[in-house]
Amino acid sequence: MKKNMLVGIAAVLAMACAEKPEEKPMYTLFVGTYTDGDSEGIYTYTFDADTGELSNQRLAAKLTNPSYLAISGDKKNLYAVQETADFDSLGGGVTAFGLNKDVLELQNSMGTQGAHPCHVSLSGDGHLAVANYTGGNVSIFSLNDDGSLAENPQVIDHKALDSVKTSHAHMAQFNRDGLTVTDLGLDAVKRYKNHNGRFVPGEQNTIPFEDGAGPRHFTFGGNGKTLYVINELNSTISVFERVGNGNYQEVQVVPTLDKDYQGKNACADLHLSPDGRFLYGSNRGENTIVIFAVDGDSGELELVGRESVHGDWPRNFSMDPKGEFLLVANKKTSNIVVFKRDAENGTLSFLNQTEHPSPVCLVFLD
């Protein structure tokens, strides 16, 4: 009898353990903003990966127009551009913070030697790149051992590359080949390689686009096999395939807008799902996130659909570290919208929204 009772208790305990729901993590979300209104700089929220709720808003750092943020791979530093033309006599600035859990500790700020810096990225081996939009150039900083910014950055000037078009460097991202830069004004992607600590033109230095396309942001799929570029001005996504010599050739261009939409539009951001099966892009004007399925072999795109962002002017958007949620920063309506993402079909379902002044960049700390 006693033996049977012990067996029964063990079975009940086993069932209780088996039925215990998985505990979802709590993440810190950093929000970059424009500060020409009610915002004061960089903010943090707590994001509940079980419910999709944002809570505990806090001003993490007072800073002018921290419109793009990047966190180091070791989670010890956060970097923010200051998208202005008057940080110093040459243009905007970039600021380095020490990251103590979710607390930002100011390290130093440097001028980027170009006006209106709008993107910042990290190489993972001691370099930081800033794209200066109005300045038409890219600044590449070395980082000190503590992650602070070293002086005397290398400046790659695009203004001298074209006597007709006006350079607008919009994104500068390190990758396995070196540094890739979209220049919206030149309708081109520029590629650079690291040569003895300096970045110089690569073998395929220029990937040209249709006049007026306005390449803005990009991402790589298939471990660099495919390059996706979202074009701000003609509302398309260009797909490029990497060929044997390491160059990229265009294989597809797809529209981001519904065929019946007649209004103005300016594309902004794009991201692949963590499993690489779906690509998402933001439409400012149509005010949607457009969703594409990615062919596993060719990398080409097939339209899945689009989802209203429940706001106006979706700038940056981000997925949580596990790709279960997608969050959108709507600049003009000052709200952050949370969607649940269907990992199998790629579709989005609206969950909630949080009011926040002029949000433009969302970065998770996992």
Q: What is the pLDDT of residues 212-236, one digit of tens each?
A: 999 999 999 999 999 999 999 999 9
The model's confidence at residue 1, banded by pLDDT at 50, 70 and 90, is very low
Phi, psi of 118 (to 5 degrees): -130, 0
Q: Please report the pLDDT score of residue 167 as a whole number.
A: 98
Q: Please report the pLDDT score of residue 21 as a whole number.
A: 63
**Residues 296, 48: Cα–Cα separation, whole Å:** 31
Token pair for residue 356?
A: 């926040």
pLDDT at 16 over 70: no
- pLDDT 10s digits, 284-318: 999 999 999 999 999 999 999 999 999 999 999 99
The H or E element that residue 9 is part of is helix 2-19
Q: Please report the pLDDT score of residue 50 as a whole number.
A: 97
The model's confidence at residue 23, banded by pLDDT at 50, 70 and 90, is confident
Q: Please report the pLDDT score of residue 2 as a whole number.
A: 47
pLDDT at 3 over 70: no
pLDDT at 360 over 90: yes
pLDDT at 115 over 50: yes
- pLDDT 10s digits, 325-346: 999 999 999 999 999 999 999 9
pLDDT at 14 over 90: no
- What's the average model confidence in pLDDT over 28-33? 98
R_g of the chain computed on alpha carbons: 22
Q: Please report the pLDDT score of residue 24 as a whole number.
A: 86
Contacts of 157 (CB under 8 A, 6+ apart): 136, 137
**CA–CA distance from 150 to each of 111, 154, 220, 307, 358 (Å)?**
11, 11, 29, 43, 31
pTM of the model: 0.94
- What's the average model confidence in pLDDT over 247-256? 98
- pLDDT 10s digits, 54-88: 999 999 999 999 999 999 999 999 999 999 999 99
What percent of the chain stands above pLDDT 90?
Answer: 91
Contacts of 117 (CB under 8 A, 6+ apart): 68, 81, 82, 83, 91, 92, 93, 94, 130, 131, 132, 133, 135, 139
The model's confidence at residue 366, banded by pLDDT at 50, 70 and 90, is confident
**Residues 328, 358: Cα–Cα separation, whole Å:** 12
Q: Please report the pLDDT score of residue 224 as a whole number.
A: 94
3 state SS for 109-169: EEECCCCCEEEEEECCCCEEEEEECCCCEEEEEEECCCCCECCCCEEEECHHHCCCCCCCE
Mean pLDDT, the chain, whole residue set? 95
pLDDT at 5 over 60: no
**Residues 254, 279: Cα–Cα separation, whole Å:** 12
Q: Please report the pLDDT score of residue 19 as a whole number.
A: 55
The count of other CB atoms within 10 Å of the CB of residue 126 is 14
The model's confidence at residue 10, banded by pLDDT at 50, 70 and 90, is low
- What's the average model confidence in pLDDT over 17-29? 77
